[in-house]
Amino acid sequence: MDEIHIGQLSIRTVSLEEEGVFTDAKNEEKNGKSYKFLLDGVSKYSIIIQLVEFDDGTAIVGLEGDYIGPRYLFTHLYSRLRIGITPLDLKKWCEIRVPKESPSKKDRITAQKASLDLLDEDFGMNDVISTLKQFGILDIDTRESVLGDSSNRRNHLAAIWDANSLVAPVVVFVITRLLPLMHLLVVNPEEKDDIIYYGPNSKQEKEYSLDRLLQDDENSNLEFKESAFFSPDEKTYGENITHNLERNIVGMLNGIVEAHILIGINKHNNKNGVAKDFQFVDGKTNAWDSYLLKLRSSLINQFGLGIVTNYISIGWEDIGYGKDNPVVDIFIRPIPEDQELVKDRNGEVWIRTLNGTQKPYSPDELNEYKKLKKIK
């Protein structure tokens, strides 16, 4: 799927078809195929949306476990508020419902009946129907109108699309689940900064914030860089990320603990942002989208799509200028201990120590490091 845009949000494929056993809308395990999509465009968030198509023709779309963002969104969307999808001839359909606070259970969000006349208001955007149709929805109306349904749910809204479309159900989830909760987040500002990491290699949530990270000096799991593309040694910008940044990423991928590289922080721990990098990328001072694309492309070219998708997340931290001049946070999870160590562009292995990133001094030191990594 090509990258698509809904307002400031962008959605692109990060994982092609994967077969396995997954949980359906009734929490029953069934065989199916999974597709993963990265939602981008919101500050420090990294959200993966998973679409699972089961062998019986049904499907489900919702959050996947790899997540960086507000605890509020994760609590309400992960394993809850997923959208169940039903086949109909050569099409698929789902009900359109709006997440709202439950009238009977405090602090609980439930999917409630939506009204055709109030869609724009409920989902917090203009012309919801036209936007959905732009991304493959063939019709959105009552179940009676769309499906010929005569049951007691005939007046509930439904959307229908071509069964082969992967875009349509993902867009339905973003517009009818994620966006309404983001609007609820705005009116609960204390929830907005409660950021967690929850991923496939994590046993528990990990909390962090930019200011909290900046309280620490650089160490084995924290590195500061002024630029991703400007080399202080060569006094010039390069087409790819600097070798210095690359070897730090290599060291952290080969590391033992999760780590951050903050770009846009100077040697005095001041938050300068990456506006100068933006000017290099496309001559603009507010070129976040182009910058992110170039940074990700450089990482994928060097490390491969699999490593970038599974072990590297790129987010941005607002330092007062929004996406015009953010600090970039590259969040890195170590590769599994049974996986071959990652190498840089010169074929060299780097490891992290308390003093930073270095080459192993000898084969013996490298073997000891591998043993330590395995124990951890």
pLDDT digits (tens, 9 = 90+) for 45-78: 778 899 999 999 999 999 886 677 787 888 888 7
**Would you place residue 374 in the very low, low, confident or very high pLDDT band (cuts 50, 70, 90)?**
low
Residue 324 pLDDT: 83
- pTM for the model stands at 0.58
Distances in whole angstroms, Cα of residue 111 to Cα of each of 64, 93, 122, 128, 260: 19, 17, 12, 17, 36
Q: Is residue 208 part of a domain?
A: no
One-letter amino acid at 286 equals N
**b/e string for 221-249 if b means 16 or more Cβ within 10 A?**
bebbbbbbbbeeeeeebeebbbebbbbbb
Range with the poorest average pLDDT among 136-140, 197-201, 355-359: 197-201
Contacts of 134 (CB under 8 A, 6+ apart): none
pLDDT of 308 reads 84
- Both 46 and 182 in one domain: the answer is yes
43 contacts 316 by C-beta, under 8 angstroms = yes
- Are 172 and 92 in contact, with CB atoms under 8 Å apart? no
Say if CB 207 and CB 258 are below 8 A apart.
no
Same domain? For 247 and 187 the reply is no
Q: Which residue has the tokens 């359909």?
A: 93
pLDDT band of residue 201 (cuts 50, 70, 90) is very low
**3-state class (DSSP) for residue 41:** coil
Based on the fold, state whether residues 251 and 331 are members of the same structural domain. yes
Domain that holds residue 96: 4-192
Spatial separation of the C-alpha atoms in residues 241 and 244, rounded to whole Å: 8
Per-residue model confidence (pLDDT) at position 376: 45
Q: Which is higher by pLDDT, 61 or 373?
A: 61
Looking at the structure, tell me whether residues 302 and 172 fall in a common domain: no
Largest CA distance in the chain: 75
Q: How many CB atoms lie within 10 A of CB 21?
A: 9
The Cα–Cα gap between 301 and 323 comes to 25
Most confident of 14-18, 19-23, 40-44: 19-23
> What pLDDT sits at residue 96?
96
Question: Same domain, yes or no, for 314 and 254?
Answer: yes
What does the pLDDT average to over 206-224?
Answer: 73
> Are 255 and 173 found together in one domain?
no
Task: Please choose, from the candidates 20, 133, 147, the residue with its C-alpha nearest in 3D space to the C-alpha of residue 88.
Answer: 147
Of 148, 177, 192, the one marking the end of a domain is: 192
Contacts of 297 (CB under 8 A, 6+ apart): none
Q: What is the CATH number of the domain that holds 243?
A: 3.30.950
Q: Domains in the chain: how many in total?
A: 2
For residue 2, what are the contacts with CB-CB under 8 A and spacing of at least 6? 12
Residues 230, 183, single domain; the answer is no
The residues, any chain, with a CB within 8 Å of residue 227's CB and separated by 6 or more, are 242, 263, 264, 274, 276, 277
200 in Cβ contact with 65 (< 8 Å): yes
Is 364 found in the same domain as 287?
yes
Is residue 203 included in any domain, yes or no?
no
Higher pLDDT, 201 or 307: 307
As a whole number of angstroms, the distance between CA 81 and CA 84 comes to 9
